[in-house]
Structure 1
Amino acid sequence: MNRFFYSALLYLLSPLLIVYLAFRAIKSPDYLGRWGERFGLTRLKSTDLLIHSVSMGETLAAIPLIRLIQQSHPELSITVTTSSPTGSAEVRKAFGGSVQHCYLPFDLPWCVNRFLRQLSPKWCLIMETELWPNLVAIAAKRGVRLMLANARLSAKSAAQYAKRPKLSQPMLQRLDVIAAQTQVEAQRFIELGVSPDRVTVCGSLKFDLSITPERLANAKLLRQTWGRETSPIWVAGSVHPGEFDAMLTAHRQVLAQWPDALLIIAPRHPEQFNSVAQVVAAQGFESVRRSENQPVTPKTQVLVGDTMGELLTFYGAADQAFVGGTLIENGGHNPLEPVAMGVPVMVGPNHWDFAQITQMLADAGGLRIVGSAQELGLNLIQYFETPSQRQQAASAGLAVVEANRGALQRQFALAQSLIKA
């Protein structure tokens, strides 16, 4: 399939995009609004630099890089786009009115053309692997210089690109700069046809996650507020449907040994907040919802983390964590977040989106890979039984984070070279 047939197929399927937005809006009202942005219909100001940061995870990684660019180039106007409401919320919280913000339009040629014609950017930074054939092709045709920042490419994604070389190869070859997270991923880009002189290994921006003393203090204060300074606490973060039952099964194992244990379960997507609360209640757990400001009492067994922007604080208030999207075939989420907050972490076997980071943490002893709810429960119990072992794992994880910092400066240097070229 080449780009012509890809675009034709998108046009044929375009009515389904409305269905998709309507379906997402049923579960998450945030998808109800701003549809004009999704189709490039919103009036926008021209901009110097366009940065696409996708969803919440990519946006959190991009924020320090964007701030460095703002500090070094205050004369530049910047537009930051996302694809999800959670990413949008992070952009607005971090930058307010200092950047122009909107959703990135669907990759329909008409929408992308109108969008880029209004913005008329000179440069474009795309985070991680959010590559769209028409966006890249039309931007390159308009003379926009393109950088793929914090680039990751799993073996699975590389295989998908290799199956469609007429679509993927021209897109990848139009990128002027690729800041790959690892040497393995850099090699995958090169094997797909990217010139080696356009690929630089920079490490992951996620290692440069900045944890302020204030956030750590707030996490400890939150635990004190709950009256759970000595109770076992663990977090199931960024979990998906298909993992809810496993988390609760593991927690039953923990409760059998420590009746005062607390599980904080935080779904990945806001549209799952009600679903997980219903599952928890249906299984008979004593639970409260964070969004309702209900007090955590000595009887509370599960706290439903149904708020945005608090997951890092939850990690810091806990003794250990599980990162979701890994017991199902999803690819996983960032295990460095709990590690940076000083807790050991567990993930399931399906962590290919963070394979290198996961392996580094596992090799150092800061992370364990579990294959089932039963195995998760046994590992949780072992760490609760041996605080010294748990602290050793936490320290090992923090050492990996510290040893791999520096990606921010390396990627900023590449962005500088792009802007000055």
Structure 2
Amino acid sequence: MPGGAPAMPDSFKERLARGVFSTVLRLAAPAYFLRLFLRGRQEPLYAAHPAERFGFGAAIEPGSVWVHAVSLGETRAAAALVERLRQERPGLRLLLTHTTATGREAGRALLRDGDTQRWLPFDTPGAVRRFLRRTRPSVGVLMETEIWPNLQHEALKAGVPMMLANARLSARSLRRGEKFKALLAPAARSLRLALAQTAEDADRLRQAGVADVRVSGNLKFDLQPDEALLARGRDWRAGLNRPVVMLAVSREGEEAAMLSAWQAATRARAQAGSPLLLIVPRHPQRFDEIAAMVTEAGLTLARRSAFGSSDIATPPLSAGVADVWLGDSMREMALYYGLADVALLGGSFEPLGGQNLIETAACGVPLFMGPHTFNFAEAAELSLQAGAARRVQTLPQALDDALALLTKPEEREAMAAAATAFAAAHRGAAARMAAPILELAAA
């Protein structure tokens, strides 16, 4: 097998585990379908194209490069890889799959004539076989951490080489995987290649059973912020005449803690020139929930969705005096980072592993992170060493330190410059990943 050693035959225990797993999924299929329907009431895209979830859909011309990006973060990382693949192989046809609505929505921007976008099928043998028969890709590229027992088993039988790109595996995930080793070990062995973000990720992937693992870096460093949006955000910031503290890509539990800490920290400040709090949640289905939190806390709120298009010169006058702005729009992170003087990293103040701190650095925004950054462990440590970020233990402490930094412009500017340099220094992963992907596609 080019690109890796031949996969070992599955043991009886492993075949039994996959059979039990498949039976459970088949029994759960009605509940899964109902869940999609109910989720579609809030996010209509979830209810769109339901047959694709079970492997149905029009047949396409064989030979596409298949990239699976489960959600928004993986899709954004895939953008840098897809761009490089197109540079190296003009005319490349892309098959792009997702699991979440935010991933599928963001993925639309990556499509060109001849490309196809689908939902990843439910991981039952029949659904996966139908999907593979209708798409017949030349290679399957799973972004970051996606491993599916039936998907990879059926791809191996169909002769579709599967690999992980931008791969990461935390120590916690490796330990959890040991509990389901009979199910996951064959899937790991079936991978032809894993392109790991770090040496530590590579070591853990080898322990999980992947034969061929190479360290290639993190694609998120290759993402360039939208310069037009970044400039627009900076223009908006200049017109505010007040500093902006951003809670970036926040998760459950963090917004309430932030609002409480914000009230305590800013109660004594006069309204004129007082800082503005900008909250940008990770999940769009929580926008209304967080808006209600703000108003229930007695703070005045302005929602980005009420401002109009991103090319307006200035936000409404009423927004300029609000206590809190809610970033309730999609694909405008560069706009929000352009607005921010300093940011707090969402997902790092609860045990959730943190969000993408690389994008913060690329936009030149000083960052305070909490103790939980295991999803971006190496990037977090490198950013700390570079002086682009600082780590604190609690969200109130992060807010206090961020507000203090606003009073020290030279120190803040030095952190901003360090952030930009840090992001630039680690680019190049897309080029390192594109060549082996295309080699497998041509094998």
> Does the pair score TM above 0.5?
yes
The CA RMSD over aligned residues, in Å, is: 1.8
In the superposition, relative to structure 1, how do residues 217 and 82 fare at CA in structure 2: closer, same or farther (>3 Å)? Answer: same
Q: Equivalences for 1:91-130 in 2 at 5 Å?
A: 91-130=107-146
SS of 1:330's equivalent?
coil
SS of 1:111's equivalent?
helix
Letter in 1 for 2:143: M
Partner residue of 2:384 out of 333, 339, 362: 362
Letter in 2 for 1:107: D
Q: Is the 8 A contact 1:47 1:77 kept in 2?
A: no
d(CA) in 2 for partners of 1:29, 1:155: 36
> How much does 1:304 deviate?
0.9
1:250 corresponds to: 261
SS of 1:350's equivalent?
coil
Partner residue of 2:30 out of 15, 19, 22: 15
d(CA) in 1 for partners of 2:169, 2:342: 29
Q: Equivalences for 1:195-214 in 2 at 5 Å?
A: 195=211, 198-214=212-228
Q: Is the 8 A contact 2:77 2:223 kept in 1?
A: yes
2:192 corresponds to: 176
2:153 corresponds to: 137
Matched, 1:240 2:251: yes
**What whole-Å deviation, never above 9, does each CA across 1:134-171 have from its counterpart, x for those lacking one?**
11111111000112100011111111122222111111
2:312 corresponds to: none
d(CA) in 2 for partners of 1:369, 1:27: 36
In the superposition, relative to structure 1, how do residues 11 and 185 fare at CA in structure 2: closer, same or farther (>3 Å)? Answer: same
d(CA) in 1 for partners of 2:317, 2:195: 44
1:352 corresponds to: 374
Letter in 1 for 2:174: A
Matched, 1:415 2:441: no
Q: Equivalences for 1:147-226 in 2 at 5 Å?
A: 147-195=163-211, 198-224=212-238
> How much does 1:96 deviate?
4.9
d(CA) in 1 for partners of 2:197, 2:92: 27
1:295 corresponds to: 316
Matched, 1:231 2:242: yes
1:401 corresponds to: 423
Partner residue of 2:89 out of 73, 78, 81: 73
d(CA) in 1 for partners of 2:191, 2:343: 37
2:326 corresponds to: 304
Letter in 2 for 1:394: A
d(CA) in 2 for partners of 1:126, 1:185: 15
Partner residue of 2:281 out of 254, 267, 275: 267
2:7 corresponds to: none
Q: Equivalences for 1:49-60 in 2 at 5 Å?
A: 49-60=65-76
2:3 corresponds to: none
d(CA) in 2 for partners of 1:209, 1:258: 39
Letter in 1 for 2:437: A
d(CA) in 2 for partners of 1:398, 1:343: 8
Q: Which 5+ residue runs of structure 2 have no aligned equivalent?
A: 1-13, 308-314
> How much does 1:296 deviate?
5.0
2:6 corresponds to: none
Q: Which piece of structure 1 moves more, 12-21 or 235-244?
A: 12-21
d(CA) in 2 for partners of 1:387, 1:161: 47
Partner residue of 2:402 out of 380, 383, 393: 380
Q: Is the 8 A contact 1:280 1:287 kept in 2?
A: yes
Letter in 2 for 1:161: G
SS of 1:51's equivalent?
strand
d(CA) in 1 for partners of 2:421, 2:221: 11
> How much does 1:397 deviate?
2.1
d(CA) in 2 for partners of 1:343, 1:108: 44
Partner residue of 1:40 out of 52, 55, 70: 55
> How much does 1:392 deviate?
1.5
> How much does 1:4 deviate?
1.4
Count of residues in correspondence between the two structures:
416
Question: How high is the sequence identity, in percent, across the aligned residues?
Answer: 36
SS of 2:118's equivalent?
strand
d(CA) in 2 for partners of 1:323, 1:31: 28
Matched, 1:323 2:323: no
> How much does 1:98 deviate?
4.5
Provide TM-score, normalisation by structure 1.
0.94
In the superposition, relative to structure 1, how do residues 44 and 264 fare at CA in structure 2: closer, same or farther (>3 Å)? Answer: farther
> How much does 1:90 deviate?
1.4
